[in-house]
Homo-oligomer: A and B are copies of this chain.
Amino acid sequence: MRNVIVTDPPRADLADVDALAGYGVATAHEAMGRTGLAGPHLRPIQSGVRVAGTAVTVLCWPGDNLMVHAAIEQCRPGDMLVVTTTSDCVDGLFGELFATAAQYRGVRGVVTSTGVRDVAELEQLNFPAWSAAVHAQGTVKATAGAVNVPITLGRAVVRPGDVIVADDDGVLCVPRLQAGRAVEASAARVAKEAATRAAFNEGQLGLDRYGLRPLLEQLGVEYVAAEDYAE
């Protein structure tokens, strides 16, 4: 690992970021061709929050939050902190004091593959968090790491300045240079889904709307009346 703090990485445009927050994780993920999810192990500590921001990435040693301190200084309004460790760790690397310092700099929330703590206090601060665990376990400040380098967050690769979208459905990374396209594709998807929703509300079936009956037939799926079916 190169122990660096990269300063002033280019960020995605906040207009795109805010638009993606409006669309949410599931829509933007679909719009990007079903890519970018961190995975189901990262869960929100709160309910009903949908947020997006530009990633400030932090790579810590397990049990050590030194580099989060270094990262706070690099934050700007509109950022999201994205914290991971060099190997698996569920300690409470992030809590209320960090949230206080981060909010001062306009940070919108934190996403971490580790644990968080002070969850009652974080909710009072309206500082949203997504994490792999809730754990009060404290950490030290002893070992080097990196800030604003590319990291893996579950199955996603996050680069500084990428867009992080997070809501009740999980955490998504939209690469900075694809943010504009993701907004457009999300808008198109939302329009299409609205039409589908309306049709479903009137009783249309997905089988018909998506033309799936010929596919079922081609795949050899048979309809059998229950009285004719033997296990």
Interface residues of A (CB under 8 A from B): 1-10, 24-26, 29-30, 33-35, 37, 39-40, 43, 48, 50, 61-64, 66, 68-70, 72-73, 85-92, 95-98, 100-101, 104, 115, 117-120, 133-138, 140-146, 148-150, 152, 154-157, 160, 167-170, 172, 193, 196-197, 200-207, 210, 212, 215-216, 219-226, 229, 231
Contact = CB atoms under 8 A, between A and B. Distances in A.
Given A142-B142, A152-B155, A157-B157, A86 B120 contact: no
8 contacts: A63-B63, A66-B216, A72-B205, A119-B168, A135-B169, A136-B172, A140-B142, A145-B221
Contacts of A156: 152
Contacts of A216: 5, 66, 70, 144
Contact of A226 (B91, B148, B170): B148
Contacts of A219: 3, 143-144
Number of copies: 6
A126 to B, nearest CB: 15
A37 B179 CA distance: 30
Given A4-B222, A29-B136, A90-B87, A231 B169 contact: no
A190 to B, nearest CB: 12
A70 B225 contact: no
A169 B91 CA distance: 11
Contacts of A24: 120
Contacts of A104: 200-203
A99 to B, nearest CB: 9
A143 B120 CA distance: 29
Contacts of A133: 40
A25 to B, nearest CB: 5
A220 B40 contact: no
B90 A212 contact: no
Pick the most buried of A24, A92, A197: most chain B CB atoms within 10 A of its CB.
A92
Pick the most buried of A48, A50, A223: most chain B CB atoms within 10 A of its CB.
A223
